[in-house]
């Protein structure tokens, strides 16, 4: 099974993966890097995961970082140590030898590009072209690392950290290639220092580094359950998202096969996670964005501040045009609606069921972020609910208006609701067959 976000990230993937992990033998990340932030609350204790799959919180499960993930080894070591010091058993962690390494110069390049883009957006030369904008990245080096992976020769893979000759050659090459471009950033491009730090990190991670492609295919062929954990969100997918306001990886279910080496035919059902409203972090269009007290209230009740950067998340009404498109691209066979409890107390809930774009009505999601920036949402208004639903454990116990809201999501997308989350806690979850 794969769990993917159907919006712009932070849909509650971590919570749902944690809830499902019990039924699987391995939980596998296949994309993204430390740009992700997955919060899981167990017994009132909150864990923030960035690179490590949420399965690490379920004792006895394998937690695999697949080849499609880009890894900052320093951030990974800090995450491992942080979990271990909170009493989490991290012995199930396995890291693909094929995963790419985010080097300090990738982070410098990410920051420098963002700064240059910001300045360019203010530059008269570009007029008021909306094509020139910073992306609002997490500055974790994600885009430059994936770019280097595609450029190949100078890219460092996790396995290279354990081979000093290869590591030295690649880092020296990378420094030579980047010296001119990064002069402005002040980033140190001293190959010897970079190699020393990277190989020390490699030695620390060495016991966990494996050929995860064989490991995972062996699990699948012996009938074990493997749960694939998406990072970021479908609308941040580098191909299918609101380009160029996207991340550097394939966040949809289509990313599972290249990001793990498990063939698409073995992935199983796709569960799409939909937050009951929309959020977005960073730049780029959010057609249903709220700039009022309703939006502020949702942000406060939903604790909508980034797990990774702490940035306040932009908030808007649920956008079913976007969600239906994401269902299609992912092949979602079920939907988990999360954070439904956050909508309690809003008298009228607005749901976007169409767009007006350049004078025409459409229910299709535009091909790029610039077109999406021009749409005007068409809303259906729904009655809200007042009750606190955090204690509800069945669909029947939800207020009628909440059930009607869920029915609209299922009817519009054509995908059944298989789970509903009414709070951050592991137990605050309704599965449709328990309703």
By CB under 5 A, residue 424 contacts Mg ion? no
Please report, as residue ranges, which positions from 207 to 236 form the binding site for ligand IMO (by CB under 6 A). 231-233, 236
Binder of residue 142, out of ligand GDP, ligand IMO, Mg ion, none (CB less than 5 to 8 A by kind): ligand IMO
Among 36, 54, 209, 286, binds ligand IMO (CB under 6 A): 36
Q: Which is nearer to Mg ion, 187 or 236 (CB)?
A: 236
Angle between helices 400-413 and 320-330 (to 10 degrees): 50
CA 63, CA 29: separation in Å to the nearest integer? 8
Q: Which two tokens stand for residue 251?
A: 């966040």
- Choose from ligand IMO, Mg ion, ligand GDP, none: what does 67 bind? Cβ within 5-8 Å by kind: none
The correct pick among 5, 259, 423, 424 for binding ligand IMO (CB under 6 A) is 5
Rounded to 5 degrees, what angle do the CA atoms 66, 217, 14 make?
40
Residue (185 or 232) nearer to ligand IMO, CB: 232
Q: Tell me which H or E stretch contains 147.
A: helix 142-151
- Residue 132 CB: number of other CB atoms within 10 A? 16
CB of 134 to ligand IMO, least distance (A): 9
Could you list the residues that contact ligand GDP (CB under 6 A)? 5, 9-15, 37-39, 41, 302-303, 307, 338-339, 341-342, 421-424
253 is an interface residue for ligand IMO by CB under 6 A: no
- 240 classed as catalytic: no
Q: Is the Cβ of residue 18 or residue 148 nearer to ligand GDP in the bound state?
A: 18
Paired tokens of 264: 């698409």
- Strand-strand pairing, 270-275 and 38-42: unpaired
Which SS3 state, helix, strand or coil, does residue 84 take? helix
- Determine if 53 is a binding residue for Mg ion (CB under 5 A): no
Least Å from the CB of residue 302 to ligand GDP: 6
Binding of residue 366 to Mg ion (CB under 5 A): no
Active-site residue 319, yes or no? Answer: no
Q: How far apart are the first and last CA of the chain?
A: 22
**Is 288 near ligand IMO (CB under 6 A)?**
no
Task: Find the binding residues for Mg ion in span 8-37 (CB under 5 A).
Answer: 10, 37
Question: Measured from the CB of residue 92, what is the shortest distance to ligand IMO in angstroms?
Answer: 20
Q: Which of 18, 19, 38, 240 is catalytic?
A: 38
**Distance (Å, rounded) from C-alpha 270 to C-alpha 329?**
11
Q: Which is nearer to ligand GDP, 10 or 109 (CB)?
A: 10
Contacts of 415 (CB under 8 A, 6+ apart): 272, 327, 332, 333, 334, 335
Query: In sequence order, what are the residues at sequence separation of 6 or more whose Cβ sits closer than 8 angstroms to the Cβ of residue 335?
Result: 6, 271, 272, 273, 274, 327, 409, 410, 413, 415, 416, 417, 418, 419
Return the CA Rg of the chain.
22
Nearer Cβ to Mg ion, position 199 or 307?
Answer: 307
From the list ligand GDP, ligand IMO, Mg ion, none, partner contacted by residue 234 (C-beta under 5 to 8 A by kind): none
Between CA 177 and CA 194 the distance in angstroms is: 15
- Taking CB under 6 A as the binding criterion, the range among 138-146, 196-204, 340-348, 380-388 that sits at the site for ligand IMO is 138-146
Which residues have a Cβ under 8 Å from the Cβ of 15 and sit 6 or more positions away? 38, 39, 40, 41, 338, 421, 424, 426, 429
Contact status: 304 vs Mg ion (CB under 5 A): no
* Paired tokens of 273: 């996670």
Query: Would you count residue 242 as binding ligand IMO (CB under 6 A)?
Result: no
- Supply the residues annotated as catalytic: 10, 38
* Interacting residues with Mg ion (CB under 5 A): 10, 37, 307
Binding site for ligand IMO (CB under 6 A): 5, 9-10, 35-38, 135-138, 140, 142-143, 231-233, 236, 247-248, 281-282, 307
């Amino acid at each position: 099974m794969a769990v993917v976000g159907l919006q712009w990230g932070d849909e509650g993937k971590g919570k749902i993966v944690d809830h499902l992990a019990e039924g699987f033998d391995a939980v596998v990340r296949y994309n993204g890097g430390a740009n992700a932030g997955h919060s899981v609350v167990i017994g009132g204790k909150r864990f923030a995961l960035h690179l490590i799959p949420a399965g690490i919180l379920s004792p006895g499960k394998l937690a695999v970082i697949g080849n499609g993930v880009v890894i900052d080894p320093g951030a990974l070591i800090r995450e491992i140590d942080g979990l271990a010091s909170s009493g989490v058993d991290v012995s199930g962690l396995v890291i693909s030898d094929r995963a790419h390494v985010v080097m300090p110069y990738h982070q410098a390049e990410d920051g420098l590009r963002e700064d240059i883009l910001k300045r360019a957006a203010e530059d008269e030369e570009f007029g008021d072209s909306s094509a020139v904008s910073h992306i609002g990245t997490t500055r974790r080096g994600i885009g430059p690392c994936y770019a280097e992976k595609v450029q190949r020769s100078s890219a460092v893979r996790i396995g290279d950290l354990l081979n000093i000759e290869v590591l030295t050659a690649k880092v020296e090459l990378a420094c030579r290639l980047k010296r001119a471009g990064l002069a402005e950033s002040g980033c140190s491009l001293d190959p010897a220092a970079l190699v020393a730090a990277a190989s020390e990190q490699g030695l620390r991670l060495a016991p966990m580094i494996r050929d995860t492609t064989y490991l995972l295919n062996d699990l699948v062929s012996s009938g074990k359950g493997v749960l694939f954990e998406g990072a970021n969100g479908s609308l941040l997918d580098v191909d299918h998202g609101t380009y160029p306001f996207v991340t550097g990886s394939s966040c949809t279910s289509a990313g599972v096969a290249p990001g793990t080496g498990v063939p698409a035919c073995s992935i199983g059902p796709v569960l799409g996670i939909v937050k009951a409203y929309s959020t977005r972090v960073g730049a780029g269009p959010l057609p249903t964005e709220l700039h009022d007290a309703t939006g502020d209230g949702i942000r406060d009740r939903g604790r909508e501040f980034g797990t990774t950067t702490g940035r306040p998340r932009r908030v808007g009404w649920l956008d079913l045009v976007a969600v239906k498109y994401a269902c299609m691209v992912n092949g979602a066979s079920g939907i988990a609606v999360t954070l439904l409890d956050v909508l309690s107390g809003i008298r009228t809930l607005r749901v976007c069921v169409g767009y007006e774009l350049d004078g025409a009505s459409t229910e299709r999601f535009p091909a790029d972020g610039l077109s999406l920036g021009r749409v005007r949402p068409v809303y259906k208004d729904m009655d809200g609910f007042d009750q606190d639903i955090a204690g509800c454990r069945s669909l029947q116990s939800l207020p009628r208006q909440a059930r009607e809201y869920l029915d609209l999501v299922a009817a519009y997308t054509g995908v059944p609701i298989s789970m509903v989350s009414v709070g951050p806690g592991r137990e605050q979850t309704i599965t449709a067959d328990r309703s």
